[in-house]
Every structure is written in C-alpha cells, then in structure tokens.
Amino acid sequence: MRVLNIEDTPIKHRKIRDVLEGCRITDIDRVGYLDEGISAYKEALASGNPYDLVITDMWYPPTHGADEEKCGDKLVETALKEKWDVPIIICSNQNYSYPEIFGTLYFSDNVDWEGQLRQYIEQLRKQI
C-alpha cells in the first residue's frame, strides 16, 4: 500500500508513520503544503504508481512561506471536483465529519485515533 501524508508538523507525521509502519506500510511520502500534495498525487497517478491512500491534516499552508489555512477542505474539494480515485482520511486535532470521503480521525491523546487508523487500513486492504 502506498500512502501520501499531507502534514506540516513533523512530530504528528512521525506518529502517523509509526502506526502505518505497524500495519506493514512502508511506502509513505510526506509533503507539507497543499500545492505539493496535489502535485504529488497527480505525478504519482501519471507515473502509473498511484497512491492507495491520502491522509491529510486540516490546517496547513497552501504553499511554502504562506500562513496556515483550512487546506484540508481545499484538498477534499479538489479531489471531489477532479474525481480522484483514492480514499482520503482527514487527521486533525479537531473533530470533523466529512461523509463524502473515506474517513476522519480525531488526532487527540484522549481518543484511540491509532486504533481507528488501523481499522481504516484493514478496511482498505479488504477492498484492494
């Protein structure tokens, strides 16, 4: 399974990566900006090696040097508009609900977001 993680916080990315590696997923790319995430997805698709999953934060900069925005919304809008054929999970420290994507994770020490991510991975494996 190949995963793109759009996350501008290195510590949060490391925690997500640890869960994915615990699920035997090692092909993980990380970008920190919206424009990089969209480009990475499109380049992977064009190369014939598409991502099987996109995990995105909600708040991160649209481009290098810009202030954080609600770019997770923008990514989902782009994916739906362009009909991306990839499951998307929003992983944020705020609790969001997006019925039009694969799932959401509430990234908090007070909930078992790691267990939920493992469940999402198992669901995806059954679909592949």
Q: Supply the pLDDT for residue 123.
A: 96
Tens-place pLDDT, residues 18-46: 999 999 999 999 999 999 999 999 999 99
Q: Supply the pLDDT for residue 62.
A: 96
CB atoms within 10 A of CB 20: 21
Measured CA to CA, the distance from residue 116 to residue 99 in angstroms comes to: 16
Q: Given a cut of 90, is residue 16 above it in pLDDT?
A: yes
Tens-place pLDDT, residues 71-104: 999 999 999 999 999 999 999 999 898 899 999 9
Ordered by start, the domain boundaries in the chain are 2-127
Mean pLDDT of the chain, nearest integer: 96
Note the CATH number of domain 2-127. Answer: 3.40.50.2300
Q: Supply the pLDDT for residue 128.
A: 73
Q: Supply the pLDDT for residue 76.
A: 97
Q: Supply the pLDDT for residue 113.
A: 97
The candidate with the shortest Cα–Cα distance to 34, out of 77, 87, 96, is 77
